[in-house]
Amino acid sequence: MFRKNINQIYQLFLISVKEFIREPGILFWAFIFPISLALILGLAFDYNKNVQYPIGIYGPIDKNFVLDLKKNNSLKIYSFNTKEDLITFLKKGKIYLYLEYKNSSYYIYFDKNYDKAKLAYLEILKIFSYQKIKQNIIEKDIQIAGSRYIDYLIPGLIAMGIMNSALWGIGWTFIQMRIKKLLKIFSASPINKNYFFIAFILARGILSVIENLLLVGIISLFFGITFIGNIIDLVIVYIVGYISFSGIAIFAGSRANNTVVGNGIINAITLPMMILSGIFFSYQSFPEIMVQWIEYLPLTILANLIRGIFLEGVSFMEYYNFLVILFLQGCFFYIIGKRSFIWK
pLDDT at 21 over 90: no
* pLDDT at residue number 318: 81
Total residues belonging to the chain: 344
Please give the sequence-ordered ranges of beta strands (E in DSSP) within 65-207, or none if there are none. Answer: 75-80, 97-102, 105-110, 136-141
For residues 151-169, average pLDDT: 89
Is residue 335 over pLDDT 80?
yes
In angstroms, the first-to-last Cα distance of the chain is: 46
Per-residue pLDDT tens digits for 268-278: 888 889 888 88
**Phi then psi dihedrals of residue 58, to 5 deg:** -115, 130
pLDDT digits (tens, 9 = 90+) for 43-102: 555 545 566 788 888 878 777 777 877 887 888 888 888 888 888 888 777 888 888 888
d(C-alpha 110, C-alpha 120), whole Å = 9
Q: What does the longest C-alpha to C-alpha distance in the chain come to?
A: 91
pLDDT band (50, 70, 90) for residue 267: confident
Residue 282, burial from CB neighbour count under 10 angstroms (0-12, 13-18, 19+): middle
Please state which of the ranges 119-133, 155-169, 261-275, 316-330 shows the lowest mean pLDDT.
119-133
Confidence of residue 326 (pLDDT cuts 50, 70, 90): very high
Q: DSSP code of 143?
A: -
Mean pLDDT over 278-288 rounds to 77
Q: What is the pLDDT of residue 82?
A: 84
Least confident stretch, 1-15, 109-123, 220-234, 239-253 = 1-15
Q: Which of helix, strand or coil describes residue 54?
A: strand
According to the model, what pLDDT value does residue 330 have?
Answer: 94
Q: Each residue of 29-44: pLDDT tens digit? A: 555 656 665 666 565 5
**pTM of the complete model:** 0.73
| pLDDT of 26 above 60 | no
CA distance 212 to 234: 12
pLDDT at 47: 47
So what's the pLDDT on residue 37? 59
